[in-house]
A and B are shown apart, each in its own frame.
Chain A
Amino acid sequence: MTIMKMEETAVVWTLLQSDLRPIQDVLSEFNSKFTRSRYFPVCSSLSILLQARALVPLPLPSSVLDFVTDPMILRSTDRLIAFAIMHQCYSSHKPSLNPFISEMINAACNEQAEKYERAFLLHLFQWNSYNNAKEILKLSAADYIKTFDPSTNEFPELGELQREYGNKADGPSSHMFADYALKKLLHDPDVPRGCDPNSPEFDVQVQPGGISKIGSGDRNEAVSGILGSLTMGGLAPRWIRPCPPRYPVHQSELLWIDPDNKHELVWDDKMCADTSRGATVRDLLIKGLKVTLSPTEQEDITTALANDPKLVYHCGITPRKLPQLVEHNPQIAVEILTKLINSPEIVDYFTALVSMEMSLHSMEVVNRLTTAVELPKEFIRMFITNCISSCENAKQQDKYMQNRLVRLVCVFLQSLIRNNIIDVKDLFIEVQAFCIDFSRVREAAGLFRLLKTLE
C-alpha cells in the first residue's frame, strides 16, 4: 500500500513548486487540502524526498552529512516549502514531539547545505536570534533565497539543537527490524555518479516520433513518481517465516463408508397390550413366599420361566423377598437366581442370600447354585464365614440345634471341596479352627481328615 493517493501526490507536488507564492499562502492551502490524519503520511513522503539525492541511501537515524556530491532531487525552493510544511503540521505541539524533528535538526546543522536553507530552518525553530519566521513566511520561497544575506549568520552545533529540541521518542516503529530499517529509495547505479541532471545536455526536446536521448528525463516525473510509489516503513532485514506443513492426511482421515444396518423407528407393540405379563407366575410366587408350593405349581412356574427368558425380570421377586422364597421353596429360588445371573442386580440378590439366617434351605440353595452357575468367589467365602459364625452363635440357644447346624455346614463344605468349587487354601485356617472347635461332631472330624489329605 502506498502512502499517498495519486491525487494527493499531485496536490503536494504543485504546492512544492509554488516558489513564487508567499510561503504562508502555500501553507494555508496545504491546510485546506489535507486533514490532520494525512499529515504524517505526507510528511513522511516529504522527508524521503528531501533526502532523495544520495547515491547511497541514508540509514535512518544516523547522519546525512557524508553524501554531498550528488544533487538533490528537489530544488532549493521546493525544499524550503517542504520543510515549512513539515514544521507547520506539528507546530501546535512541542518541537520534540514532531516526528521529523531529528531530520530537520540534521538539515539545519548540515555544513554542506546551503546557508539559506539552514537559516530558514532555524527561523522555523525560532532558535536564539532567528525569530522572524513570520516575516519570512510572508515571502515567496524564491524571494527568500534572493534576499538572503549569506554573511550574517551564525549556526549552532548539532548537539546544541538536539539538546534544545531533542527527540527522545522512538518514533512509530516498535521493534528492532523496524528500528533498523533503511530508507528504501535507491539511486540507480546505471546513472553515472556525479553527472549533473540539471545540465541542459539531457534536456533536449524529444522530437515527436523520435527516439528519446539516453539520459533524458524529467525531474517532475521522478518526484511525482517517488511520491506516488512511496510506502510506509523502510527496508529492513527480513525474517524467513516457514509455513507449518499441513497436518498429514492419514488414510483413515478420508472417510471410507460402509452401509449401516437398517435402523428403523420401532413401533411400541406393548401399547394397550396385556399388562399382566406372567400374572399367574407372579401370583404363585407370592403364595410361595408363605408356603411350600405343590409339585404341579412348581412345575407351572418352571415352565413359564423357561418359555419366556425375560419373565424372570418381571416376576416380582426382589432381593428383599428372596429369603422368604428360599425358606419355603428353595428349588424355585435356585431356578430364579440361575436365570438372573446376568442381571445387573444379581449382586443385591447375593447380598440378600449372604445376610439371611443360615438354614438347611439357604445352604441347599447355595450348594445347588454352585453347580449350576459360576458364583463370585467372594460371595462363597462370605457365605462360608457366615455359616461358621452361625454355628458358633447357635451355642447359646440349643445344643441340639447347634449340632444339627454344624453337621449341615460340614456336609456343605465337603461338597464344595469335592466339587472344586472352593480352593481350600483360601479358607484353610478358618475351616480348620471350625473343625477343631466342633471335633465332637462326627462330620466335623470327617471334614478335618479331608482337609489333612488335601494339605
Chain B
Amino acid sequence: MDSIPSDAARDGSICDEAIVLSVTCALAKDALSYFQSGKFHECIDILIQLNHKKRNDPKVLHNMAIAEYFKNACSNSKKLLEDLNTVKKQSEELAKEPLEAVNPGSNVSVSKDLFDSTVTTLNIAVTWFHLHQYAKCLSILDPLFLNIEPLDETIALQICFLMLDSALACHDAVKFLEVFGHLDKSFGVGFGTHEEIGSTMQLSSNQVSKTSSLLSSSAASDALKSDLAAAESGLCEEGLEYDNVLAEIEAEKRMKPVGHIPANNLLKTIGERSILTVDVKLELQLYKVRFLLLTRNVKLAKREVKHAMNIAQKRDSSMALLLKSQLEYAHGNHRKAIKLLLVSGIQKELRTSGIFNNNLGCIYYQLGKYQAASVLFSNALRNCSSLRKDNPVKLFSLSQDKSLLITYNCGVLYLACGKPLLAAQCFQKASLVFCRQPLLWLRIAECCILALQKGLLEGGNTSSDRSEIRVHVIGKGKWRQLMMEENGFVELGGSAQWPKLSLPLARVCLSNSMYLLNVSLMNDSKSDLESPLSVMINDTKEASWSDHGDANTNSELKEAKGGMNQDIIQNSLSAYKDIRRRENHLLKQALLANMAYVELELENPIKALSAANSLLQLPDSSKIYVFLGHIYAAEALCLLNRPGEAGAHLSAYLLGQEDFKLPFAQEDFDPWRMNMSSDCEETSDCSTGNARDSLKPEEARGALFANLAALFATQGHYDQAKPFIQHALTVLPNNVQATITAVYIDLMVGRSQDAVARLKQCTRVSFVPGRLEVRAS
C-alpha cells in the first residue's frame, strides 16, 4: 500500500487545521487499525460511535457492513450485498443533491469526493465474484472502468484485476482485452517485439536448466523424480499408475517438514498472492498468457509464458509453471503437462491442492483414463470442502472454493462414463455458475437421452408431460379460470428442486439452450459491428469527436503502438472469434438434432419435423447432422402420413437404384476426437474416448437401407423392400428394428417360416416361456 502513508500524512496535517474533524479522523484511524488486525468487535464499536457523530455517513455505514461481515465469519453474503446496495443508493442520492443545489462551478468536486461510491461498488462486485456470478461482477464494474482515470491507483488496479479474472471466467475475450489494454497502457508490458522474444527465449532456457539442476541437487529431488517417472510410466496402466502418483505425493508431503525443498523458494505460496504486494508486471504477463490460452493461441502463449518465467525468475514462478502446464495440456502433450503440474508445487498448498487434483483429473480425462480422473475429481472436491471448513473462514478461501467448477468436470466425466443420473446431478449443481451457458443445458438434455437409452427413465410420461402448452385449471365452479403456459426460458434449479430426468425435461433444457445460444449469437453480431479494439482505445473520445468529422484514428494508432502489438492481439482475437463461431454453429446443429430426436421420442412428429427441417436449412452443417436431419425428417413425415416426402429425404443418399452411399465419413467425427497430440500412443488412446459410442458411417448406411425398406413395406411394395432389408441386415445383422421389418415383410408375403427362422438368427431375440419378446435396444 504505497499510497496509504502519504494519504495518512496529508490527513494528519489537515486534522490539525480543522479541529472539529480531528476527533472523527482519529476514530476512523482506530477503526482501520482494529480492522486490519482482525478485531472486528472493537472495530464495530468505534464505527457505532462514528455513526453517532456523523449521522448516516455512507462511508461509515459501508465500513460497518464490511466489518460485520467479517465478524460473522463471512457467512452472510446476502446481507452484505443488501447493506452495500443500500449504502450505494444512499451515497448516489446524496451526491445528486449538492449538484442540484450548488451552482455547478463552485464546490462540485468536493461533494463528489465525499459521496463517491466507488469502493462500495467494488465491494459489491467482489462479493458477486466470490459467489461465482462473474457476469454480474463484470456488469457492476463496467461503469467504474469507463471512468477509471480519476481513481486512485490501488483501487483502479483492484478493479482491473477483478475484471480480468471475471472476464476469463466468462470466456469474454473482448472485455478482457478492453481492460488489459488499459492496464498495459498504464503499466506496459506489451506484446514483445521479436528481438525481445528472442532474448527471453534464451534466458528462459537458461532458467529452465537452472531449475532442473536445482531439482536434481536437492534432497527431495528423488521424490520429485519418481513423481515424474510415475507420471510417465503410468500412462500405460491406469490404476497402478495413479496409485504411484498418489503415493509419491504422499511421500513428498511427509518429507516436507524435514527436507527443505530448494525449489520451494521459487514456488512460493501462490495461494496468498495479493494484489497489493504483487508485481504488476509479472501479473500482467501472466494474464497475457491466460488470454492467449483462452483464445487458444498456443503458439504465442508458448513464447509469452517463457517471458513470464523470465520475469518470475527470482520470484514466484509457480503460477507461470502452472500456466505452462495448461499450455502443454492444451497442446495435447499430456505427459509434459503432468510433469509441469507437479513441478509447479501447487499440490503442497492446502489452498491449491484442490486445483492440482482437478487439473490432473482433466489431463487423465483427456487420456481416456476415466477411473483415475474420477478419483482425482473427488479428491479435489474433498480438498475444497475441507477448505470451506477452515476456521476462521477467509473470504479468500471462499473464492478459492472451486467446487462448482470441479462438479461440472465431474458431470462431463460421468456422462462420458455412461452414468447419466450422476452426471445430471453434477450439472444441476454446477448450474449455479453456468446457468447462462447453452452447453450446460445441452449436457443435461444429453443426460436425459442417455438415461432413456439405458432404460433409466421412469416410465409413463403422462400426456400432460408430453404436451407443450399446459393449461392450468384454477378455481372451481363459475370462478374456474384457465391459465395458459408456454415455452420460453424455463427457470430450473435455483432454490427449487430439479425435476427428475425425463424426456420433457430434455425438451425444456434443449429449448433453454437454444434460447441462450441465440441471445449470445445476437450479442456477438452486435459487437462485431464495431471493432473491439477501436472501442477499447478510442471509446469515449471517438464518440464525441465523431460529430466533428472523421475519426482521429491515426494518432490513436500511434499511441497504441507504444503499448502492444496490435496485430498479434487482433489476430488472436479474431481467430478465437472464428473458433467460437464454429463451435456455436456445431452446437446449434447438435441442439436441433437432439430436439428432433426428443420430439420423435415424445411422439410429436410435427415439432420433430420442424426441428429437422431447421437443421437441414443450416448452411455448412456437419455431414453427420445433415444425415440425422434427413432421417428424423423422414420418420416424422411417415408419422404424418406423408410417405412421398419421406422417401425423398432418404433417396438423397441413393446411389443408383439399390445402393446407398455412406452418408458421412469417419473424418466427419474429427471434432469429436480429443485434442490431438504428437504422441501416437496417446492419440490411439484418445480416439477411443469419445467416438466409441457414436454412430458409425456404415451403421448410418444400414439405417438408410432399413428405413427405406420399412417405407416400401408400409406402402405394400414388398418386392422393392426386400433387397433393401437384405442389405440392411448384412450391415446391421443384429439390429432389432431391421429384424422386425424383415419379419414383417416375410409375413406379408406369406413366408412365416422365414420369419421365424430370422427371429431365431437374431441374437437379440429371446424366446421367453409364454411370451415372445424382443429385447429393447
List residues of A whose CB falls within 8 A of some B CB: 55-57, 59, 175-177, 179-180, 182, 186-189, 225, 228-229, 235-277, 282, 307, 309-310, 313-316, 318, 320-321, 342-344, 346-348, 351, 374-379, 381-382
Contacts and interface: CB of A to CB of B under 8 A. Distances in A.
B703 A240 contact: yes
Contact of B555 (A237, A247, A259, A377): A377
Contacts of B483: none
B194 to A, nearest CB: 26
Contacts of A376: 541, 545, 552, 555-556
A244 to B, nearest CB: 4
Contacts of B57: 271-272
A73 B766 CA distance: 24
Instruction: Give the bracket for the number of chain B residues in contact with chain A.
Output: 35 or more
Contacts of A251: 329-330, 332, 362, 366, 674-675
A187 B556 CA distance: 88
**10 pairs of A and B residues whose beta carbons are closest in the complex:** A313-B150, A237-B710, A238-B737, A245-B694, A376-B552, A271-B59, A272-B28, A240-B703, A274-B14, A272-B24
Contact of A259 (B400, B443, B556, B740): B400
Contact of A186 (B4, B706, B752): B752
A347 B544 contact: yes
Contacts of B559: 374
Contacts of A348: 544
Given A240-B737, A243-B597, A320 B110 contact: no
Contacts of A245: 624, 669, 672, 693-695
Given A242-B703, A249-B412, A378 B273 contact: no
Nearest to B12: A274
Contacts of B421: none
B590 interface: yes
A316 B352 CA distance: 48
A108 B504 CA distance: 47
A262 B747 contact: no
Given A177-B714, A378-B552, A229 B409 contact: no
A111 B640 CA distance: 38
B436 to A, nearest CB: 15
B319 A318 contact: no
A223 B709 CA distance: 34
22 contacts: A176-B638, A180-B714, A182-B747, A235-B744, A236-B744, A239-B710, A240-B707, A240-B735, A242-B628, A242-B695, A251-B329, A255-B405, A260-B399, A262-B272, A263-B129, A265-B66, A265-B127, A271-B28, A272-B50, A316-B107, A344-B541, A346-B541
B405 A247 contact: no
Contact of B709 (A237, A259, A343): A237
A176 B640 CA distance: 8
Contact of A344 (B113, B365, B539): B539
A46 B131 CA distance: 65
B274 A59 contact: no
A123 B511 CA distance: 58
Contacts of B35: 267
B549 A254 contact: no
A175 B641 contact: yes
Interface string B732-753: 1001111011011101101011
Contacts of B272: 262
Nearest to B735: A240
B743 A263 contact: no
Given A240-B737, A259-B346, A272-B24, A266 B290 contact: no
A96 B585 CA distance: 54
A272 B709 CA distance: 86
A45 to B, nearest CB: 14
B114 interface: yes
Determine the main DSSP class of A at the interface with B: loop
B690 A248 contact: yes
Contacts of B150: 310, 313-314, 343
Nearest to A423: B554
B63 A268 contact: yes
A176 B155 contact: no
Contacts of A321: 105
A255 B409 contact: yes
B332 to A, nearest CB: 8
A262 B695 contact: no
Nearest to A179: B714
B539 A271 contact: no
A96 B539 CA distance: 78
Given A188-B756, A272-B54, A257 B405 contact: yes
A228 B161 CA distance: 71
B52 interface: no
Contacts of B271: 259
Contacts of B208: none
Contacts of B21: 272, 274
Given A271-B59, A377-B554, A247 B275 contact: no
Interface in B264-310: 270-275, 278, 283, 290, 296
Contacts of B14: 274, 276
Given A242-B700, A248-B690, A275-B113, A255 B408 contact: yes
B503 to A, nearest CB: 13
Interface string B298-328: 0000000000000000000001001100100
Contact of B116 (A265, A270, A309): A270
Contacts of A254: 362, 365-366, 409, 412
A277 B10 contact: yes
Contacts of B747: 56-57, 182, 186, 235
Nearest to B743: A235
B283 A261 contact: yes
Contacts of B109: 282, 313-316
B203 interface: no
B399 A263 contact: yes
B584 to A, nearest CB: 12
A246 B693 contact: yes
B627 to A, nearest CB: 8
A343 B395 CA distance: 34
Nearest to A273: B11
Contact of A267 (B66, B129, B270, B587): B66
B19 to A, nearest CB: 13
Given A177-B639, A237-B745, 18 more contacts: A242-B700, A244-B593, A249-B690, A251-B329, A255-B405, A257-B355, A258-B290, A262-B272, A263-B161, A263-B399, A267-B32, A268-B59, A271-B31, A310-B152, A316-B108, A320-B105, A376-B545, A376-B556
B59 A243 contact: no
Contacts of A318: 104-105, 108
B343 interface: no
B59 A270 contact: yes
A138 B281 CA distance: 105
Interface stretch (B117-125, B229-237, B564-572, B653-661): B117-125
B706 A240 contact: yes
B434 to A, nearest CB: 10
A237 to B, nearest CB: 4
A266 B415 contact: no
B326 A258 contact: yes
B446 A262 contact: no
Most A-side CB within 10 Å, residue of B402, B443, B541, B586:
B541
Nearest to A240: B703
A261 B639 contact: no
Contacts of B639: 175-177
A59 B746 CA distance: 12
Nearest to B754: A189
B254 interface: no
A218 to B, nearest CB: 12
A270 B147 contact: no
Given A56-B747, A274-B11, A318-B105, A266 B155 contact: yes
B671 A248 contact: yes
B219 interface: no
B748 A263 contact: no
